[in-house]
A and B are shown apart, each in its own frame.
Chain A
Amino acid sequence: MTSPQVDLKNRWLAAVLAFLIPGAGHLYQGRLVKAAIYSVGIIGLFVGGMVLGEWKVVYWRWEPGGHRSFGYLSQVLVGLPALPARWQAGRYLEQGRAIDETLDAPFSGRLRYDPDPDQLTIHPVDPDTRPTSKIHEITGTIHWQREAAAVTGTLEGTLDDGQAVSLTLIREPMATRRVFVHDEITPSILRRDKETSVRLFSSTARYVRCDVQNGDREGIVEGTVPRDFWNWFQVPLEEEALQELHGRLGRRFELAQVFTWIAGLLNLLAIWDALEGPAYGYGDEEDDSEQAAAD
């Protein structure tokens, strides 16, 4: 109901603003208290849900016959805070399986040189007595680029004993995809560290593994490079990621989803209010219950 006491200005513009940012439409109309209630309440609920669900509850995935994120149809009503998911779904699908054409990023991981071939011939079969090389922690910068069909690159870093090393990549590196996915990862030398979880690779860090050469010594480096915010935020979750989150967060993940769904549905009320005004009137009419008491 459009109340004559409320100036809705350009109500269609207000409705669009209310959709894009909860409370913005009412701010435009000069209805400041309502703008505060809608923005703090709805955005607060939405962000609260995102935090509860480790920022993974809002995503768009629509596979005919497969997983469909119906909840997003409600979440998207919050407007701009949820819209990146639609764009991220496109980026996720467009990326191929090939590794980046170029990469220049800080690297943190481990290095293990291959054992001396002469020693291997002394202990050819018994893995218990076969000499193993020491594993070094390494931090530095990894760089590669694709030239023609081959990938060339270097890893300039410092080992845990303070020694500076310059390693040359000798084969095509392996890396998890740029835009977040829950790829199956089989770390080899990192696996020895029980604190290194698969989850580490699936959000803010990417797993990288490559064969390297340092002079006449060859070895393997395995570790992570940072993943940019826009390469994991609101990106579609695969089944493995969903199972991992449900398993780890339990009901908290479901609560997080409910928070964001309800935030979207509540913004629908706010949009309608910006378009049509308050549903029951201005509010200075006599209260029904008071009237009933008087009767």
Chain B
Amino acid sequence: MDAHNTWYILPLVVVISLVYSASRYELTSRIFSRARRIFLTIMIFLGILFVVLNTLSFRL
């Protein structure tokens, strides 16, 4: 996937985090704090995955 398309992951992860958190809790502050945590977790996980795959495919 080229760099341009990779940015589409951001709105996708934001919406997934928010909707998932909203379905878990009712309190607004809890929804947003939980969504922030999920967003960061997913992005860090994807970032690690990206680095690993990028390293493995170096000079391929």
The contact size tier of chain A is 20 to 34
- Could you say which residues of chain A place their CB within 8 Å of the CB of B27? 282-284
Closest to B19 in A: A266
- Could you say which residues of chain B place their CB within 8 Å of the CB of A38? 19, 22
Give Cα A45 to B9, complex, Å.
11
Known contacts being A41-B15, A42-B19, A48-B11, is A278 close to B26, with CB within 8 Å? yes
Known contacts being A251-B1, A252-B5, is A283 close to B22, with CB within 8 Å? no
**Chain A binding site: helix, strand, loop or mixed by DSSP?**
helix
Q: What is the interface size of chain B, counting residues whose CB is below 8 A from a CB of the partner?
A: 22
Closest to B25 in A: A283
B43 within 8 A of A: no
- Could you say which residues of chain A place their CB within 8 Å of the CB of B5? 251-252, 255
Contact of A281 among B22, B25, B31 (CB under 8 A): B25
- Could you say which residues of chain B place their CB within 8 Å of the CB of A255? 5, 8
Closest to B34 in A: A283
**Is the pair B1, A262 in contact by a Cβ cutoff of 8 Å?**
no
Q: Which of B1-34 contact A (CB under 8 A)?
A: 1-2, 5, 8, 11-12, 14-16, 18-20, 22-31
- Could you say which residues of chain A place their CB within 8 Å of the CB of B20? 266, 269
**Chain B binding site: helix, strand, loop or mixed by DSSP?**
helix
Query: What 0/1 pattern do residues 34 to 55 of A give for CB contact below 8 A with B?
Result: 1001100110110010001000
Give Cα A281 to B18, complex, Å.
16
**Is the pair A269, B19 in contact by a Cβ cutoff of 8 Å?**
yes
Query: What 0/1 pattern do residues 235 to 260 of A give for CB contact below 8 A with B?
Result: 00000000000000001100100110
Query: What 0/1 pattern do residues 61 to 97 of A give for CB contact below 8 A with B?
Result: 0000000000000000000000000000000000000
A143 within 8 A of B: no
Q: Which of B41-56 contact A (CB under 8 A)?
A: none
Closest to A268 in B: B23
Closest to A52 in B: B8
Contact of B22 among A37, A48, A251, A284 (CB under 8 A): A37
Extra 12 A-B pairs, beta carbons < 8 Å, given A42-B19, A259-B8, A284-B30: A41-B19, A45-B11, A45-B12, A255-B8, A262-B15, A262-B16, A269-B23, A273-B22, A273-B23, A280-B24, A281-B25, A282-B27
